């Protein structure tokens, strides 16, 4: 598994509406976005982990000053999510401010944007 293919595969899986991360074969540490060296033990040998997409909201913000290409979507609701299998990912949230609180249960959704898939999270069981 070389560097280029790790990231490419992660993105190709996303485009297929799948969230697939890596698990270190040496120490079992789970990562969502792939690294080349395990952050815990430095090993470079990983196996794939397919996530259910369920997780918990660790922290969040409502961002009003957004980069140019997201201008029409402002404000962006952004959060850091810890997935139930381990590993964390930051992403836009499909939720209003009143629905959010630290510790809220979320699930991943895959939204079409500009011909790619944008990973987002919404409250678990919500519409």
Partner 1 sequence: MKGESIFITGVGQTKYGKLKGQSLSSLIYDAASMTLLDASISRSQIDALVISNLASNRFNGQQNLTALCADVLGLSGIPAFRSGASSASGAAAIHQAVMMVKSGMFDNVLVIGVELMTQVSTDVSTSILANSTHPWEQEQGITIPALAAMCTRLNMLHNGLTREQLALVAVKNHKNALLNPLAHFHHKKVTIEDVLNSPIIADPLRLFDFSPRSDGAAAVIISSEKSIKKFCDQPIYIKGIGAATDIFAYMNRENLMSLDATHLAADRAFKMAEITQREINILEVHDAFTPLELVNLEDMRFFKRGSAGKALEDGVTERNGQLPVNVSGGLKAKGHPVGATGVGQVLELTLQLRNEAGKRQVTGVDTGLAHAIGGFGNNVFVTILSRS
Sign of CA dihedral 27, 32, 35, 40: negative
Considering only 20, 62, 94, 110, the residue that binds partner 1 (CB under 8 A) is 62
By the 10 Å C-beta count (0-12 exposed, 13-18 middle, 19+ buried), 87 is classed as: buried
Considering only 49, 58, 94, 110, the residue that binds partner 1 (CB under 8 A) is 58
Smaller CB distance to partner 1: residue 12 or 70?
A: 70
Query: Residue 121, interface with partner 1 (CB under 8 A)?
Result: no
Smallest distance from the beta carbon of 81 to partner 1, in angstroms?
9
Spell out, one character per residue from 72 to 91, where the chain touches partner 1: x when CB under 8 A holds, - when not.
-x--x-xxx-------xxxx
Spell out, one character per residue from 1 to 20, where the chain touches partner 1: x when CB under 8 A holds, - when not.
--------------------
Among 91, 118, 114, CA closest to 106: 91
Considering only 8, 26, 27, 39, the residue that binds partner 1 (CB under 8 A) is 39
Considering only 64, 98, 125, 127, the residue that binds partner 1 (CB under 8 A) is 64
By the 10 Å C-beta count (0-12 exposed, 13-18 middle, 19+ buried), 13 is classed as: middle
**Rounded alpha-carbon distances, angstroms, from residue 54 to 43, 44, 57, 69, 121:** 27, 27, 10, 28, 9
């Amino acid at each position: 598994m070389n560097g280029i293919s790790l990231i490419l595969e992660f993105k190709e899986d996303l485009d297929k509406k799948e969230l697939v991360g890596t698990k270190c074969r040496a120490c079992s540490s789970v990562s969502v976005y792939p690294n080349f060296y395990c952050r815990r033990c430095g090993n470079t040998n990983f196996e794939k982990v397919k996530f259910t997409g369920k997780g918990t909201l660790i922290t969040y913000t409502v961002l009003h000053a957004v980069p140019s290409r997201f201008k029409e979507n402002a404000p962006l609701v952004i959060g850091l999510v810890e997935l139930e299998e381990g590993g964390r990912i930051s992403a836009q949230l499909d939720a209003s401010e009143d629905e959010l609180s630290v510790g809220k249960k979320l699930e991943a959704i895959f939204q079409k944007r500009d011909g790619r898939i944008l990973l987002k999270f919404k409250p678990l069981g919500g519409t």
